[in-house]
């Protein structure tokens, strides 16, 4: 009998499928251009409108990308500098509900995200070969390597870029 598939395994499969065989750091770097390009053509009312019931508005997606960079960058730093550190799970919906409206404008959210993303890319591009295989212990999912963490973030970018494009139609 096969092991039951967990929700995370399905999510991980979705994110890794979105990444395919592409270089995750190159994907993360390309998002630096894509998000501002999408924002340049977005009308203010589009940014606050949810494309469907229960879906995030583009502004919420932007905030989530920033939150994800904050969390992922911290995790990678911890994994690289500590021996199998604990990695705490986070509730993205709770973060979006609580912190999603703190920036005065969507551009402030983008600016915050750009700073976080650039800082993370600097770390990712500095990684030595052996650091890619270091692991942390996620509170919900078990051992995760730096490589997997960055691959998941790159697939996450692609999924949320699609969501952002849909919300801006």
Residue with tokens 């691959």: 151
Sign of CA dihedral 158, 161, 163, 169: negative
Q: Which residues contact 141 (CB under 8 A, 6 or more apart)?
A: 8, 89
- Residue 158 has a pLDDT of 97
Which tens digits make up the pLDDT trace of 7-49?
Answer: 888 888 999 999 999 999 999 999 999 999 999 988 888 898 9
Quickly count: other Cβ atoms within 10 Å of residue 89's Cβ. Answer: 11
* Pairing state between β 135-138 and 86-87: parallel
Query: Which value, to the nearest 10 degrees, does the dihedral of the CA atoms of residues 46, 19, 111, 49 take?
Result: 10
Q: For the chain, where are the alpha helices, taking DSSP H only? A: 7-19, 24-40, 44-48, 58-81, 92-99, 106-126, 146-167
Q: What is the pLDDT of residue 141?
A: 86
Residue 72 has what pLDDT?
A: 98
Domains of the chain: 7-167 (1.20.120.450)
Would you state the pLDDT for residue 1?
Answer: 46
Q: Would you state the pLDDT for residue 3?
A: 54
- Indicate the SS3 state at residue 102: coil
Q: pTM (2 decimals)?
A: 0.92
Residues of the chain with pLDDT under 70: 1-4
CB-based burial label for 39 (10 Å; 0-12, 13-18, 19+): middle
Q: Which two tokens stand for residue 98?
A: 């609580």
């Amino acid at each position: 009998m096969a092991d039951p598939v967990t929700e995370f395994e399905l999510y991980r499969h979705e994110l890794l499928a979105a990444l395919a065989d592409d270089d995750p750091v190159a994907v993360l770097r390309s998002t630096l251009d894509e998000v501002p390009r999408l924002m340049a053509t977005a009308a203010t009312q589009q940014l606050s409108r949810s494309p469907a019931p229960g879906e995030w508005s583009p502004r919420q997606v932007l905030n989530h990308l920033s939150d994800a960079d904050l969390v992922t960058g911290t995790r990678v730093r911890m994994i690289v500098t500590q021996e199998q550190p604990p990695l705490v799970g986070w509730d993205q919906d709770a973060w979006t509900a609580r912190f999603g409206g703190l920036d005065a404008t969507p551009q402030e959210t983008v600016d915050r995200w750009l700073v976080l993303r650039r800082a993370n890319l600097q770390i990712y591009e500095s990684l030595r070969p052996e650091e890619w295989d270091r692991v942390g212990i996620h509170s919900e999912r078990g051992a995760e390597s730096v490589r997997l963490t960055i691959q998941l973030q790159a697939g996450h970018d692609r999924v949320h870029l699609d969501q952002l494009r849909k919300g801006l139609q």
